């Protein structure tokens, strides 16, 4: 049975660019990026960040757009199907499992954070976030709200408001995705994305006009805040820190939504003559504008003027977003509740346009792999992601389940998937063919140097980053002593005192993977009839 989205196409070029930009612009832009840039000394971080953008971000983005459109013409929209038709070996489709499980698993915890944003928006507007003058009070509030003190807390014991927000957000995502590509994703992003930019500009204007809010602390002014975020520091020394390169490359992946299997699916709903070169670049540029131009100018400078550097250092993404910033907004002299509300609504919009994009690869796979209609696909994916989210929400102590899924899927597996995509484009489709494919209907000529970058530089750079990442973050390598001290992510699994929740989380990932592999084996029987493998 032909399903609905299988034959759908984006209705306009502007629409698909906004949808891809919607996927890319998310919590990563407004919370993760500023936190990382400030932590690593912005100047040096930006050098590594832009090198990564040009060597892996934009090349993989073009590769995903091109491969997606190519496979879409052959009737495939999910990574397993797309890889089946591209690799033309029985094994191809199984490799594509990553492009389904990465977004699906990330959705399971991302939607929880999305619910916090909606919750904070509501609390600001209703004046319930006036907790006093220090970060600790907000920290306690956050810990109670998300259940970080004890497992199972938010599912009972009266501390369950976050569940209400989670249900609302979950339902919204599925209602939108059920409407399909044009009436759902495209329609929503067409309004949500401009609204998000307007809200961000309002917040930015407010932050940049804060001046010196406390005359007793003249150093804590907005110029110093911008300086804290943007002054280059000792670039050479910082650039010799490999962790900085890993953080910058990881941020590029996470932020552009490349390496997830998401853009490849979105691009498969283009028509054969639609441009991919300029559109891909436009969507990436929109993301960079929101990340560097808006995200980087709002969060850290705002926190600096009220709390100084000490209030920011070591807070991490969640600390910055849900403990420091709420306090910062409540200190804004006029209409604090309004600006706090605006900021968290903007975060919510950024998050929902991203989480929508995490659902479509799964829907596309269920439709084309099992021949299901949209209703059944949405129902099955809804059930699966609801189980996953409940898992994350139940094991909320120290957000262990969330953190473990984010590490192994949201960081580790996306490196793997990104490498696979660039290798398929450069070596299996071949750069010559890939180049012609990328330029069909193109509104711009991609500079020739990228041909070489895609074939050689991106895979080598990626591999180098990946090996370093594993050495440092998995095996805990200390280059100064040459010693290996496995990190908590490994010790939690196989150390002398393993963490049951971390183990369960990894088991859960493997179960989801197994589930989809079985479905893919079945799907292969259908696909072999349409596009038989050659080996
Ligand atoms: N790019 C999004 C952000 O910056 O928040 C995150 C994201 C989107 C992750 C889509 C995964 C994904 F499939």
CA 69 to ligand 1 center in whole angstroms: 20
Q: Is 287 in the pocket of ligand 1 (CB under 6 A)?
A: no
CB 512 within 8 A of CB 388: yes
Atom of ligand 1 nearest to the CA of 102: 13
Return the ligand 1 atom nearest residue 254 CA. 1
Please list the ranges in the chain whose pLDDT falls under 50: 1-3
Q: What pLDDT sits at residue 312? A: 84
Predicted confidence at residue 2, as pLDDT, reads 41
Q: Is 22 in the pocket of ligand 1 (CB under 6 A)?
A: no
Our answer on whether the CB atom of 63 is closer than 6 Å to any ligand 1 atom is no
Mutation pick for ligand 1 pocket among 104, 105, 110, 116 (CB with most ligand atoms within 8 Å): 110
Ligand 1 geometric centre to CA of 478 (Å): 31
Q: What is the pLDDT of residues 29-78, one digit of tens each?
A: 999 999 888 888 778 899 999 999 999 999 999 999 999 999 999 999 99
Q: Contact, 186 vs 16, CB < 8 A?
A: yes
pLDDT digits (tens, 9 = 90+) for 161-173: 899 999 999 999 9
| DSSP-derived pairing of the beta strands 477-478 and 483-484 | antiparallel
Which of 190-200 are b and which e, b meaning 16 or more Cβ less than 10 Å from the residue's Cβ? bebbeebbebb
Q: Mention the CATH class of domain 13-527.
A: mainly alpha
Q: What's the gap in Å between 102 CA and the centre of ligand 1?
A: 11
Which numbered atom of ligand 1 lies nearest the CA of 106? 11
In the reported structure, the alpha carbon of residue 494 is separated from the centroid of ligand 1 by a whole-number distance in angstroms of 30
Helix, strand, or coil (residue 484): strand
Ligand 1 atom with least separation from CA of 33: 4
171 alpha carbon – ligand 1 mean position (Å): 19
3-state DSSP call for residue 483?
A: strand
For residue 78, how far is the Cα from the chain centroid? 18
CA-based nearest residue to 28, from 341, 313, 353: 353
Residue 22 CA to ligand 1 center (angstroms) comes to 9
Residue 192 token pair = 């949500």
pTM here is 0.95
pLDDT in tens, 208-257: 999 999 999 999 999 999 998 888 888 888 888 888 998 999 999 999 99
Ligand 1 site, residue 321, Cβ cutoff 6 A = no
Ligand 1: distance of its center to the CA of 321 in Å? 16
Token pair listed for 11: 């209705």
Report how far residue 299's alpha carbon sits from residue 280's, in angstroms, rounded to the nearest whole number: 27
Find the helix packing angle between 374-394 and 336-370, rounded to 10°: 130
Cβ–ligand 1 distance for 109 under 6 Å, the answer no
Which residues are CB-contacts of 357 (< 8 A; sequence separation ≥ 6)?
19, 20, 22, 23, 103, 185, 257, 262, 266
| Closest atom of ligand 1 to CA, residue 361 | 13
Cα–ligand 1 centroid distance for 436 (angstroms): 29
Rounded to whole angstroms, the Cα distance separating 90 from 315 reads 47
Taking the C-alpha atoms of residue 442 and residue 102, their distance in angstroms, rounded to an integer, is 29
Reduced 3-state DSSP string for 422-480: HHHHHHHCCHHHHHHHHHCCCCCCCCCHHHHHHHHHHHHHHHHHHHHHHHHHHCCEECC
**Facing residues of 478 across strands?**
483
Gap from CA of 36 to ligand 1 centroid (Å): 16
| 309 neighbors 74 (Cβ within 8 angstroms) | no
User: Which distant-in-sequence residues (6+ apart) come within 8 Å of 146 by Cβ?
Assistant: 112, 116, 154, 162, 322, 396, 399
Q: Which of 257, 264, 348 to mutate to test the pocket of ligand 1 (most atoms within 8 A of CB)?
A: 257
Distance CA 334, CA 337 (A): 9
Domain boundaries, the chain: 13-527
- 29 ligand 1 Cβ < 6 A: yes
Nearest atom in ligand 1 to the alpha carbon of residue 26 is 5
Does the CB atom of residue 388 touch ligand 1 within 6 A? Answer: no
Angle at 234 between CA 228 and CA 238, to 5 degrees: 100
Give the C-alpha separation, 525 to 116, whole Å.
Answer: 42
Residue 74 exposed, middle or buried by CB count within 10 Å (0-12, 13-18, 19+):
middle
Give distance in angstroms: CA of 25 to centre of ligand 1. 7
Q: Tell me, what's the pLDDT at 157?
A: 60
């Amino acid at each position: 049975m032909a399903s609905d989205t299988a034959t759908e196409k984006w209705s306009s070029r502007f629409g698909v660019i906004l949808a891809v930009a919607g996927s890319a612009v998310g919590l990563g832009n407004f919370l993760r990026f500023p936190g990382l840039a400030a932590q690593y000394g912005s100047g040096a971080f930006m050098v590594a960040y832009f090198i990564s953008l040009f060597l892996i971000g934009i090349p993989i983005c073009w590769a995903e757009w091109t491969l997606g459109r190519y496979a879409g013409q052959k009737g495939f929209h999910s990574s397993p199907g797309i890889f089946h038709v591209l690799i033309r070996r029985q094994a191809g489709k199984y490799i594509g499992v990553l492009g389904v499980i990465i977004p699906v698993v990330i959705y399971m915890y991302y939607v929880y954070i999305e619910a916090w944003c909606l919750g904070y928006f509501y609390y600001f507007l209703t004046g319930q976030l006036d907790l006093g003058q220090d970060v600790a009070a907000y920290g306690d509030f956050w810990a109670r709200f998300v259940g970080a003190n004890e497992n199972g807390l938010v599912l009972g014991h009266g501390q369950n408001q976050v569940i209400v927000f989670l249900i609302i957000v979950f339902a919204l995502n599925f209602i939108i995705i059920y409407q399909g590509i044009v009436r759902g994703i495209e329609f929503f992003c067409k309004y949500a994305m401009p609204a998000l930019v307007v809200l961000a500009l309002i917040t930015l204007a407010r932050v940049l006009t804060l001046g010196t809010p406390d005359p007793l602390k003249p150093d804590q002014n907005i110029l110093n805040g911008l300086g804290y975020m943007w002054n280059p520091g000792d670039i050479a020394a910082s650039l010799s820190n490999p962790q900085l390169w890993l953080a910058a490359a990881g941020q590029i992946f996470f932020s552009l939504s490349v390496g997830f299997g998401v853009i490849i699916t979105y691009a498969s709903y283009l028509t054969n003559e639609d441009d991919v070169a300029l559109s891909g670049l436009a969507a990436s540029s929109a993301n960079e504008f929101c990340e560097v131009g808006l995200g980087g100018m709002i969060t850290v400078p705002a926190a600096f003027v009220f709390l100084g550097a000490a209030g920011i250092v070591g807070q991490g993404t969640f600390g910055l977003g849900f403990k420091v910033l709420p306090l910062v907004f409540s200190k804004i002299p006029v209409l604090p509740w309004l600006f706090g509300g605006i900021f968290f609504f903007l975060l919510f919009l950024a998050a929902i346009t991203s989480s929508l994009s995490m659902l479509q690869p799964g829907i596309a796979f269920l439709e084309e792999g099992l021949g299901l209609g949209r209703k059944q696909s949405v129902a099955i994916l809804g059930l699966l992601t609801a189980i996953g989210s409940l898992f994350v929400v139940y094991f909320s102590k120290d957000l262990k389940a969330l953190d473990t899924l984010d590490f192994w899927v949201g960081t580790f597996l996306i490196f793997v998937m990104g490498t696979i995509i660039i290798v398929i484009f450069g070596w299996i489709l071949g750069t010559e063919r890939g180049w012609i494919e990328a330029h069909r209907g193109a509104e711009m000529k991609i500079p020739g140097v990228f041909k070489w970058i895609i074939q050689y530089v991106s895979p080598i750079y990626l591999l180098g980053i990946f090996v370093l990442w594993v050495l440092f973050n998995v095996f805990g390598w200390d280059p100064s002593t040459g010693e290996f001290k496995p990190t908590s992510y490994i010790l939690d699994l196989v150390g002398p005192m393993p963490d049951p929740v971390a183990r369960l989380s990894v088991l859960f990932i493997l179960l989801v993977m197994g589930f989809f592999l079985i479905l893919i084996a079945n799907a292969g029987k259908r696909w072999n009839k349409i596009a038989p493998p050659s080996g």
